[in-house]
C-alpha cells in the first residue's frame, strides 16, 4: 500500500482594499518612511475599515476565492482549521461560522491559535488529518484583522501589522508530494515580551483595562527580534540537515513576514540566494496568520511540481518552527 502524504492542491487569498502607507502613518505617529523601510522592509499594509466586519469576513473571502478558482463544491470539504490570533469573538469559534457561511455543511471546524505561528502549526495539524486516511479535503485558513488589536498611537507596533487572509487546501497524495517533515517548538517564558494583557481569564475587561490600553498588542521588539532571528534560522538549518538538503536542494524559503531583517538573517544562515526567498512584507506588513499563504499565492505561478519548500515562522508565546514540503502541482521540476 502506498503511503499517503498531505499535499497542498489549491490556494486562495483576500486582502482589504484600504492601503495604509508609511506616508499616512507619518501623519498619525512620530515616524517616517525611511525608518520603517530600513528597520522592517514594510512600505504599506491593508486595513479592513468596515465597521462590524471581523476576521471571519477576510477568511470567508479567501476561502471563496479558492473554491471558485478551482470549482470545488464546499460540501466536499471535510474540515476547516481556522488559524488566527484575532477571532471574531472570544467564545464561538470563528472557523465554525466561516464553514457555515461558505456552505461547507459536511465539515467540522475549529480555531487554532499560536500567534504568528498559527498557520505553520495548522499545516502540521492539517497534514495529520490527511495522513490518517480519514479526511480527504482539509481547508486551512490563516486570517487576521490585526488592526482590531493595534493601538494606532503606539509607533512601535502600529507600523508593523496589517490585515489579510490566505486559504490552502490539503489533499492526500500518493506520489510523495506534500508535507515531508516538521520541527515545531514553543517556550512560555516568552509570553511577557509579546502579549495582550487584558481581556482573558487573568485580567478580564474592565473600565480600568480599557483606560490603560491593555487590550492592545504589547511587544518588546528588540527581545522578540533576537529570539526570532536565532530560532527561525536554527529551525531551518536543522530541518535541512536532517533531510540531507543543501542550499541547492531548497527551491524556496517561505518565511513569516515580520521583519525583512529577520528573513534576511534566516536566508543567510541557510546560504540561500535572495531569489529563492518569498517576500511580500513591503505590501502587506505582518498579517500574522496570513503571511505564509499570502506568500504562496504571490509566488504560485513560479512554483513547480517537486519543488522543495521550507516554511518558517516565529511568534508570540513564543512559538516557532519549520515545515518541509514538496510542491504538488505546476510544471514538473527538472533536477539539475
Interface ranges with ligand UT7 (CB under 6 A): 31, 35, 39-40, 116, 155-156, 159, 221-222, 224-225, 228, 258-259, 262, 286, 314-315
Bridge partner list, 173? 5
Contact between residue 96 and residue 79 where contact means Cβ atoms under 8 Å apart: no
In the set 116, 158, 236, 295, the catalytic residue is: 116
Given a contact cutoff of 8 angstroms between Cβ atoms, the answer to whether 335 and 323 are in contact is no
- For this structure, is 286 an active site residue? yes
Could you tell me the smallest distance in angstroms from the CB atom of residue 258 to ligand UT7?
A: 3
Q: Cell numbers at residue 251, please?
A: 527551491
Comparing every residue's Cβ against ligand UT7, the nearest one is 221
CB 285 within 8 A of CB 257: yes
- Rounded least distance, CB 156 to ligand UT7, Å: 5
Nearer to ligand UT7, 239 or 262 (CB): 262
Catalytic residue among 256, 259, 295, 308: 256
Measured in degrees and rounded to the nearest 5, phi and psi for residue 163 equal -105, 150
Instruction: Identify whether 280 is a catalytic site residue.
Output: no
From 79, 182, 74, 189, select the one nearest 140 (Cα to Cα). 79
- Minimum CB distance to ligand UT7, residue 122 (Å): 16
Cell of 64: 471563496
Task: Considering the complex, state which of residue 13 and residue 117 has its C-beta at the smaller distance from ligand UT7.
Answer: 117
Residue 241 CA to residue 250 CA, distance in Å, equals: 11
Rounded CA gap, 64 and 114, in Å?
24
C-beta of 280: minimal distance to ligand UT7 in Å?
14
Q: What nine digits make up the cell of 108?
A: 467540522
In the complex with ligand UT7, which residue's Cβ is closer, 138 or 229?
A: 229
Q: Is 236 labeled as catalytic in the residue annotation?
A: no
Out of 65, 286, 295, 308, pick the active-site residue: 286
Nearest to ligand UT7 of 93, 319 (CB atom): 319
Q: Which is nearer to ligand UT7, 220 or 249 (CB)?
A: 220
Question: What sign does the dihedral 152-217-119-307 (CA atoms) show?
Answer: positive
Residue 238: which H helix or E strand, with range? helix 221-242
Q: Which three cell numbers stand for residue 290?
A: 496570513
CB of 316 vs ligand UT7, minimal distance in Å? 6
Active site residues: 116, 256, 286
Amino acid at each position: 500500500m502506498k503511503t499517503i502524504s498531505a499535499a497542498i492542491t489549491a490556494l486562495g487569498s483576500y486582502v482589504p482594499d484600504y492601503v495604509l502607507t508609511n506616508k499616512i502613518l507619518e501623519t498619525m505617529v512620530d515616524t517616517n518612511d525611511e525608518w520603517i523601510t530600513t528597520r522592517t522592509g514594510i512600505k504599506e499594509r491593508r486595513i479592513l475599515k468596515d465597521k462590524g466586519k471581523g476576521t471571519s469576513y477576510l477568511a470567508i473571502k479567501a476561502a471563496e476565492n479558492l473554491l471558485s478558482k478551482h470549482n470545488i463544491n464546499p460540501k466536499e470539504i471535510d474540515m476547516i482549521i481556522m488559524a488566527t490570533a484575532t477571532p471574531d469573538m472570544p467564545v464561538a469559534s470563528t472557523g465554525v461560522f466561516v464553514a457555515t457561511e461558505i456552505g461547507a455543511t459536511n465539515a467540522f471546524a475549529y480555531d487554532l491559535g499560536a500567534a504568528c505561528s498559527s498557520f505553520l502549526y495548522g499545516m502540521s495539524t492539517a497534514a495529520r488529518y490527511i495522513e490518517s486516511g480519514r479526511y480527504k479535503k482539509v481547508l486551512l485558513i490563516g486570517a487576521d484583522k490585526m488592526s482590531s488589536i493595534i493601538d494606532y498611537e503606539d509607533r512601535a507596533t502600529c507600523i508593523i501589522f496589517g490585515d489579510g487572509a490566505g486559504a490552502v487546501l490539503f489533499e492526500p497524495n500518493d506520489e510523495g508530494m506534500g508535507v515531508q517533515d516538521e520541527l515545531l517548538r514553543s517556550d512560555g517564558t516568552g509570553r511577557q515580551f509579546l502579549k495582550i494583557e487584558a481581556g482573558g481569564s487573568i485580567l478580564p475587561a474592565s473600565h480600568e483595562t480599557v483606560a490603560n490600553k491593555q487590550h492592545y498588542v504589547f511587544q518588546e521588539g528588540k527581545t522578540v527580534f533576537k529570539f526570532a532571528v536565532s530560532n527561525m534560522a536554527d529551525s531551518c538549518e536543522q530541518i535541512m540537515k536532517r533531510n540531507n538538503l543543501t542550499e541547492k536542494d531548497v527551491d524556496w524559503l517561505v518565511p513569516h513576514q515580520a521583519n525583512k531583517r529577520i528573513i534576511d538573517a534566516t536566508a543567510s544562515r541557510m546560504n540561500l540566494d535572495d531569489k529563492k526567498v518569498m517576500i511580500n512584507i513591503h505590501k502587506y506588513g505582518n498579517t500574522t496568520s496570513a503571511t505564509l499563504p499570502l506568500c504562496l499565492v504571490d509566488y504560485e505561478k513560479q512554483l513547480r511540481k517537486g519543488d522543495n519548500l521550507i516554511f518558517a515562522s516565529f511568534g508570540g508565546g513564543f512559538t516557532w518552527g519549520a515545515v518541509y514540503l514538496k510542491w504538488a502541482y505546476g510544471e514538473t521540476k527538472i533536477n539539475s
